[in-house]
Amino acid sequence: MKVHSKMNPPSSCGRIEHLGLNVVLQLLVGVPLEMVHGAARISFVYVAGVVAGSLAVSVADMTAPVVGSSGGVYALVSAHLANIVMNWSGMKCQFKLLRMAVALICMSFEFGRAVWLRFHPSAYPPCPHPSFMAHLGGVMVGITLGVIILRNYEQRLQDQTLWWIFLSIYVIFVLFAIFWNIFAYSLLDLKLPPPP
């Protein structure tokens, strides 16, 4: 497997609107999360989202490049949604439902645009459009790590059980993707196209 095709920096984006929406979502969601939970926790969720997005693309959409920070941004937004649900009764913000709706609308819009671009013919035929699977990898990591890492201010016994379930899901996903990248290409005789 060509490592360089899956290891683009998270700040490189294909189009200006993609970059713009990622920056806006990072600022609107990442800064408040960082103020509440600390920079270390939020940075870990973000970087884990970028890595999981790349792993998701390497498993499900092997011929597409990974571009941008969508995995990390979607991890932040999904962690934000998990945080709101986890701490629903303890949050004093009167706009919880509105915040969730805006986050879901932004995520749906960008994901729909990414799916459309992936299957729309490229203006530069040798260069395929970036994959949308990084978005889904980021969502999965954001929900699981959002429950695991972010603080739950009303922890009950059932929340501890949920914590272990989400930790197991996260570990299984990462291990599966890593083993897939190590063994699937030789076992299934898969060939990646050469980079453009």
pLDDT (0 to 100) of residue 5: 44
Rg of the Cα atoms in the chain:
17
The answer to whether 195 and 5 have CB atoms below 8 angstroms apart is yes
CA-CA distance, 21 to 107, in Å (whole number)?
10
CA-CA distance, 135 to 74, in Å (whole number)?
6
* DSSP-derived secondary structure for 67-116: -SSHHHHHHHHHHHHHHHHHTTTT---TTHHHHHHHHHHHHHHHHHHHHH
Domains detected in the chain: 3-187 (1.20.1540)
Read off φ and ψ for residue 22, nearest 5 degrees.
-65, -45
Per-residue pLDDT of 66-106, as tens digits, reads 877 889 999 999 998 888 888 777 777 777 788 788 888 88
Q: Where residue 6 falls among pLDDT bands split at 50, 70, 90?
A: very low
The answer to whether 50 and 150 have CB atoms below 8 angstroms apart is no
Mean local confidence (pLDDT), 111-120:
82
Specify whether 89 is catalytic: no
Specify whether 135 is catalytic: yes
Q: Which of 5, 54, 70, 78 is catalytic?
A: 70
Tell the residue number behind the tokens 């889904």, with chain if given.
136
Per-residue pLDDT of 20-30, as tens digits, reads 888 888 888 88
Mean local confidence (pLDDT), 108-135:
77
CA-CA distance, 47 to 56, in Å (whole number)?
14
pLDDT (0 to 100) of residue 1: 39
Per-residue pLDDT of 131-172, as tens digits, reads 888 999 999 999 888 888 887 666 665 567 877 888 899 899
Q: Is pLDDT of 51 > 50?
A: yes
Per-residue pLDDT of 163-174, as tens digits, reads 788 889 989 998
Query: In the chain, pLDDT over 70 holds for what percent of residues?
Result: 80
